[in-house]
Every structure is written in C-alpha cells, then in structure tokens.
Amino acid sequence: MDKKLAVMVPILLKGEPAGVKQQGGILEQMLREVEVECLPQDIPSHIDADVSELVFGKVLRVADLPHSDKWDYLTDENQPVAHVTSVKEEVVATPEAAAAEAAATPAEPEVIKKGKAETEEEGAATAPEKAEKTEKKEKK
C-alpha cells in the first residue's frame, strides 16, 4: 500500500468551449486517458479538465490539466488533450438532386456530337479543293 503505481485515468471535459459557443466550431478530444503515478489509495476515478476557455488556435495539453500533490503525470506534458476545430461542410447528394441533375443532361451521347462536328469540318476542308479543281478546268 506504500508503493506507487502507474495507472491510466480517464479525462472528463467540463464546460462549453467559447470557440463552440461564439465561433461555431466543434470540440475534439484527442486524448481520453492519462497515465499517472500515485499510491493505491490516491488513485483518482477521473480527472476533470475545464475547456470553457478553449477557442480556435488554443490547445489544452496534459500540462494544463489540474495537478495534485497525490499524483504525478507520466504522460508527456506536451501531449494535446483537446482543441476546437472548424466545422467542415460536406455536400451530400440527395436522390432528388441526383434525379434533377440527370434530367438536365442531354439524352444524346457525346460521341454522336463529336462525329457530326468532324464531318462538318471534313466537308469544309474538301470545299476549297473542289473550288481549285473547277478553276483549273475553266483555265483549260
């Protein structure tokens, strides 16, 4: 009972971050447990971390967690615990939107359009040749 133990203790986040309330971000918890060294009778059930001051660009680290005379942190003190990040909006295609998009596209395949354009270009290219032949015939 007088020998110190190394145990994992969960971290509970308390409060609502200012970055969530005022800036519209979301709170992301990256570390859920920390390793502490303490006597068996001093093992905490959890560690409360106040996140109410977190805003964009500010990170809560292990060094910022509450300290006690009864335990020491074994986890790296620079390890991030939580931060506020921006919300990424994803465009999700609904079935109605997909149907409307399909209706807006032409029913004619693209290859047919290409073929028509090529034949018109060929016709335009052969027209000057015919004109040259007729001019030569007139000169004779």
Give me the phi and psi of 4, to 5 degrees please: -75, 145
- Edge to edge, the sheet with strand 5-14 lists 47-50, 5-14, 33-38, 71-73
Q: In this structure, what CATH number is given to the domain that contains residue 63?
A: 2.170.120.20
Please state, as a whole number, how many other Cβ atoms lie within 10 Å of the Cβ of residue 79: 13
* Pair (80, 15) in one structural domain: yes
Same domain membership, residue 115 and residue 56: no
**Is 80 found in the same domain as 35?**
yes
Residue 96 is assigned to a structural domain of this protein: no
Residue type present at position 31: L
53 touches 27 (CB < 8 A): no
pLDDT tens by residue, 114-127: 555 555 555 555 55
37 versus 103: the higher-pLDDT residue is 37
**Any domain includes 68:** yes
Compare 102 and 23 and report the one with higher pLDDT: 23
Report the domain count for the chain.
2
Asked if 115 and 81 sit in the same domain, the reply is no
- Domain encompassing residue 121: 106-139
Of 42-46, 61-65, 90-94, 133-137, which range is least confident? 133-137
pLDDT value of residue 14 = 94
DSSP class of residue 63 equals G
Which pLDDT belongs to residue 2? 84
Residue 100 within a domain: no
Token code pair at residue 40: 């068996």
Domain annotation covers residue 90: no
Same domain, 81 and 121: no
The reply to whether 74 and 116 lie within a common domain is: no
pTM, full prediction: 0.58
Statement to judge: residues 60 and 116 lie in one domain: no
